[in-house]
Amino acid sequence: MGNLPECRVTSFQPVFAYTGIDYAGPISIRDRKTRNPKMLKSYIGIFICMSTKCVHLDVVTDMTTTSFITALKRFIARRGKPRHIYSDNGTNFVGANAILFNKLKSSADEISSTLSAEVKSWHFNPPRAPNFGGLWEAGVKSIKYHLKRVIGDSALTYEDLCTVLVQIEGALNSRPLSPLSSDPQDPTPLTPGHFLVGRPLTALPEADHTSIPEARLKKFEHLQAMIQHFWKRWNIEYISELQSRLKWKKSFSELLKIGSLVVIKEENVPVNRWKTGRIIQLHPGPDGVIRLVNVQCADGAVYKRAITKLCVLPSQ
């Protein structure tokens, strides 16, 4: 594999200093809560920090340049101004670049000159080369694939879709990236939430609504059922993808060591909750191959698990 670009490994920079942008959709929404609503198209604006992998989601109502600029202003108000922006050659992105940079650079207004000075440049992918934006394309896949299945034929309003997306954003930013420290007694992983709020992102305790028929759920319970369905699908997929990436580094048996931080693949885990622990004992078989280990979690409980149910978090 080739080396990562400089924007992916730049340290000592604020979150979202290097930001990748893309759209996902369309998703149909209701124009009002009353009867006989009109169905409108909406899209998901995805903003990804290139170095910390933090995710920011927003709802936009069309693909025009104006709608994107308003979404970008909402993003800047909440996350700060990015130094560099990366995107494909969508007409809305190209148009926004022309408005925000080309016109602002020729303006003598103090606010405009400040924006032009702080936002260095807008980088576009080569035409017909989506692989150059693999980081945000992976974000589109993580969100869109499962979201369209959990929403199904439900007609959400703009407010409902925003509620669902913000909670999905929290779930994505709770994913473990690597060990937080080298202490063998510390089972806490580093997550994108640490870069955003300084601690792991958690969710309020919620009853399981996934097994209740939809007709018996209240409106807010229906939205929470969507979040829980998304979580059950996505977190298992994420752990499985982490396991498959190990082939690019070294064999799985070489990573299994005493003190290694692992994520345990479990079903029915609450939203934004990842079961992590440290390996405290290895159980090699008669042929010397390790297939079972003992894992100690944060609550002190010790579990014996097969290595197929574990994912070792990379420490480098």
Give me the domains of the chain, ranges plus CATH numbers.
8-133 (3.30.420.10), 175-315 (2.30.30.30)
Answer yes or no: is pLDDT of 112 > 50.
no
Q: What is the pLDDT of residues 189-210, one digit of tens each?
A: 999 999 999 888 888 888 888 8
DSSP class per residue in 144-182: HHHHHHHHTT--EEHHHHHHHHHHHHHHHTTS--EES-S
User: Which of the four pLDDT bands, split at 50, 70 and 90, describes residue 307?
Assistant: confident
Answer yes or no: is pLDDT of 11 > 80.
no
Question: Tokens 């604006």 appear where?
Answer: 45
Predicted structure pTM score: 0.85
Which three-class secondary structure state does DSSP give residue 93?
Answer: helix
Mean pLDDT value across residues 150-163? 88
C-alpha angle 185-187-191 in degrees, rounded to nearest 5: 140
Share of the chain above pLDDT 90, in %: 20
Across 136-150, 241-255, 300-314, least confident range: 241-255
Tell me the average pLDDT of the chain.
83
Share of the chain above pLDDT 70, in %: 88
Answer yes or no: is pLDDT of 107 > 50.
no
Which three-class secondary structure state does DSSP give residue 127?
Answer: coil
Per-residue pLDDT, 283: 87
Structural element, H or E, at residue 121: strand 121-124
Q: What is the pLDDT of residues 17-67, one digit of tens each?
A: 899 998 987 898 998 888 888 999 999 999 999 888 899 999 999 888 888
Higher pLDDT, 12 or 189: 189
Higher pLDDT, 102 or 215: 215
Answer yes or no: is pLDDT of 165 > 90.
yes
Q: How far apart are CA 218 and CA 135, in angstroms?
A: 37
Q: How far apart are CA 192 and CA 194, in angstroms?
A: 5
Answer yes or no: are the C-beta atoms of 266 and 240 closer than 8 Å: no
Cβ contacts of residue 123 below 8 Å, gap of 6+? 84, 85, 86, 87
Per-residue pLDDT, 252: 59
Per-residue pLDDT, 108: 41
Classify 152 in phi/psi space as left (phi over 0), alpha (psi -120 to 50) or beta. Answer: left
Answer yes or no: is pLDDT of 154 > 90.
no
Mean pLDDT value across residues 116-127? 71
